[in-house]
Structure 1
Amino acid sequence: MQQVLLDELIQRFDGDLSLCVSTMQGEVLFCHQQNHIFKAASLIKLPILSCALQQVQAGQLAMTDRLPLTAENQVPGAGVLHEMETGLSLTVQDLLTLMVVVSDNTATNVLIERLGLDAINAHIQHIQLQHTFLVGKLQMPLNLQNDLQKTGQRSTTSAADMNLWLLSLVQGKLLTPTLSEWALNLLKKQQDRLVISRRLPRTSDGELLYEVASKSGEIPSHRHDVGIVFAPKPYLVSLLSRGSNDFREHPDQALTLRLAELSERIFWLTQSV
């Protein structure tokens, strides 16, 4: 019955939907158009995170290294660093935390500059993400965009790629156990809980009953969320969508509500398998 209800939600989804759900062992439980390519929005920050941590692992970077905040990297959108005075110096650990927990675009640009665009895309290819590509720094004004950005190209990914990234992280294929645990704990602190976590079971005090390690992404007409739900039967879930005419940055934005309903249905289905 739960599968039927999930299929019904997918069939009447108003917009383009891509999803992939699997066990922690990599068994695909169900999927829908998982290889469709979407603008990545802030999901692109996940391979940036693993690229940075792999450089830490290799001794090419330290979590305590300080990187300067420059005016060029200060861009609008999510985060707080665009409101800070230039010249501020933050550690790599601080920048990674801001990039994930509050999805700070400026922190992301500082990290892209330090890691290198080519190195990040080489990392993406190395971990075999087939549809994921970082086109450049985020939210750059036209005069500072690179040639690809000026043609209208944007960073991309897919539900299949995001599930593979999550699986590689949780299975310890990306990083050492210590750095894997650090990354997972960071994802558990993400403040955007409006999609995957929104309608999951909670305690009488309103706290989530089970931990969720996730990363969201949002740009006009696109809403994504991917993560790991540590339920009694834990699972990985990647939800990507586009096509809404509701451009609000609002908890009740249309795609947000539809994806949250799907997430709830996926939860009950996975627990009944």
Structure 2
Amino acid sequence: MRCRKCHNEVETGKIVCGNCRKKTPSRKKSKSKRRVTRRNERLEKNGVEIIPKVEATISNSEEKNVQLKGSQEQTEVVKDIQIQKNVDEPIKKVKNRKIVLFKGLLLFLFGVAIGIIGTINMSQKHAGEKIAVTVETIEASNETEQTESLLKTSMEQTKVSQKEEDIHETEEKEVKKKKGSSFMKELPNKIVENVKGLKGYYSYYLHDLSEPNGVSGSSKKMLSASTIKLFILENAFFQVKADKLVLDEPYELLEEDKVPGTGDIQNAEEGTVYTTEELLNLMIIDSDNTATNVIIDRLGGIEEISDYILDRGYRDTILARKMGDTTAISEGKDNYTSVDDVGELMTKLAEKKLIGEEEDRQMLEILSKGKNHDKLANSISDKMKIYCKSGEYSDFGVQNDTLLVEGPEGSYILTVMSENGDESEQISILQTIGKEAYELMLKR
């Protein structure tokens, strides 16, 4: 058998002799070199630093040297092998990065899968609960079907009844509204007819409290007589609310306090003790002049009260003198008001919007005890609640009266003022006006 290269004889079964085999490079090795070259080029493009490869080929003779006992040659061979391992590190790093990315992708997909499974489980659980609730609802509805049917019928009947009640109530309100408006329209005409041809001057104010506003006729500044005491009472409770006046504060009566006219304090002994509250009651209930003058002083005097009246917006009301002061009258000083001002005060008091709810209640309590019911309140039933204050000064032909009437048929305010008239004639006409107002209210 001859060698295919040198044609020398070779051992049986071999194609190339040993010398030719050494000279011919391995095809595998050449392919490996080309592969490494291409790989290094790719790594350089990707910015990977390439460490030059150090050949560490070990020949047959070197293999023999490895078996030598000398430690130096063994160390050199080991170093050569370590160098070969370090050269392959960049390639391993790239492979490791790919492996890490692949593992990360797997973990991400695994997480997504877990999330989807959890969502499906929650949906199924919710659907199960919903089904359970639906089943319970169906069972409950089956159990109460008869009851609901009965309730539905009952509710329908109740709605029909409620509608009928609402219609009836609306009709009643409309009727009351018409009657209320007739009270406001008819009474002024009756008043005008009643005072026609009489001596003196008359003015009136009336307010059906179911209506937003009152009406007045011939209102102007007129002599107030004791009607001015309403404004003094208002100022007193204004100061009570402001803690400037104490209702239970005592006062010892002096001889110089006593004045003639209405009231009994003028007959009391000097040194008699009265509280502020008692003096206010006497000023309104008995129209006591002496009590009124003491209250004026306790409130700060005429100027203080006059400033209050002005600040409150009463256009026609003036306090210019004390009660029974004939000297001031001779000098042309007197007290004035109008049906508009009195009507405004009484309306706010009735609505508890004058000073304060508690103060207004106390004032109404005092006015409810007024004793003079001989004028506008003469024909009103005792079943009605009456709050009133009259005023008269016969020397000047003055007869005034104001009242608030409250009852089941309705509530109203009526004020009439007259001056320069005949006393008997004035009182008679006031009684007539009061009776007609009350009868009109009863028709509501």
- Report the TM-score, using the length of structure 1 for normalisation: 0.87
Which residue of the partner structure matches residue 20 of structure 1?
205
Aligned ranges for residues 221-236 of structure 1 at < 5 Å? Answer: 221-231=397-407, 232-236=409-413
Cα distance, 1:68–1:218 mapped onto 2, change above 3 Å: same
Shift, 1:237, TM fit: 1.1
Report the Cα distance in structure 1 between the residues aligned to 2:202 and 2:337, rounded to whole angstroms: 13
Amino acid at match of 1:217: G
Question: Residue 209 of structure 1 aligns to which amino acid in structure 2?
Answer: K
Name 2:427's counterpart in structure 1. Answer: 256
1:9-158 map, 5 Å: 9-24=194-209, 27-34=212-219, 36-115=220-299, 116-142=301-327, 145=328, 149-158=329-338
Are positions 1:214 and 2:388 aligned together?
A: yes
Uncovered stretches (5+) of structure 2, i.e. residues with no partner: 1-181
Shift of 1:173: 2.5
1:54·1:174 contact (CA, 8 Å) conserved in 2? Answer: no
SS of aligned partner of 1:61? coil
Partner of 1:265: 436
Cα distance in 2 for residues equivalent to 1:130 and 1:261: 29
Count of residues in Structure 1 that have an aligned counterpart in Structure 2: 255
Structure 2 residue matching 1:22: 3-state secondary structure: strand
Q: 1:11 & 1:29 partners in 2: Cα distance?
A: 22
Give 1 or 2 for the bigger CA radius of gyration.
2
Q: Percent identity?
A: 25
Query: Whole-Å Cα distance in 1 between the matches of residues 213 and 441 of structure 2?
Result: 11
Separation (CA, whole Å) in 2 of partners of 1:134 and 1:9: 31
Deviation readout 1:13-64 (Å, 9 max, x if unpaired): 4421110001336744542202x22111000100100111111111011100
Between 177-186 and 263-272, the greater mean CA deviation after superposition: 263-272
Post-superposition offset of 1:101: 0.4
Secondary structure of residue in 1 paired with 2:352: coil
CA contact (8 A) 2:285 2:371 kept: yes
Instruction: Please provide the CA RMSD for this pair.
Output: 1.9
How far the C-alpha of 1:270 sits from its partner, in A, is 4.1
Measured in 2, the distance between the counterparts of 1:263 and 1:12 equals 19
Q: Give distance in 1, aligned partners of 2:365 and 2:383.
A: 16
Q: More helix by proportion, 1 or 2?
A: 2
Letter in 1 for 2:263: G
Please state which structure has a larger fraction of its residues in strand: 1
Shift of 1:67: 2.2
Partner of 1:249: none
Q: Which runs of 5+ in 1 are unaligned?
A: 203-207, 247-252
Contact 1:132–1:157 (CA under 8 A) maintained in structure 2: yes
Task: From 338, 341, 345, give the equivalent of 1:161.
Answer: 341
Structure 1 residue 131, shift from structure 2 partner: 0.4
- Between 1:14-23 and 1:96-105, the stretch displaced more is 14-23
How far off is 1:178 after superposition? Answer: 1.6
SS at match of 1:161: helix
Q: Is the 8 A contact 1:26 1:167 kept in 2?
A: no
Aligned to 1:59, the other structure's residue is in SS state coil
- Tell me how far apart the structure 2 counterparts of residues 23 and 5 of structure 1 sit (CA, whole Å): 16
1:70 Cα deviation after fit: 1.9
- Please give the residue correspondences for 1:178-197 in structure 2 after superposition, counting only pairs within 5 Å: 178-197=358-377
C-alpha displacement at 1:261, in angstroms?
Answer: 0.4
Q: CA deviation at 1:117?
A: 1.2
Aligned AA for 1:235? Y
**Is the alpha carbon distance of 1:152 and 1:26 closer, same or farther for their aligned partners in structure 2, counting shifts above 3 Å?**
farther
Q: Which amino acid aligns with 1:70?
A: L
* TM-score using structure 2 length: 0.54
CA distance in 2: counterparts of 1:113 and 1:50, whole angstroms: 15
- Distance, in Å, in 2 between the alignment partners of 1:118 and 1:180 is 24
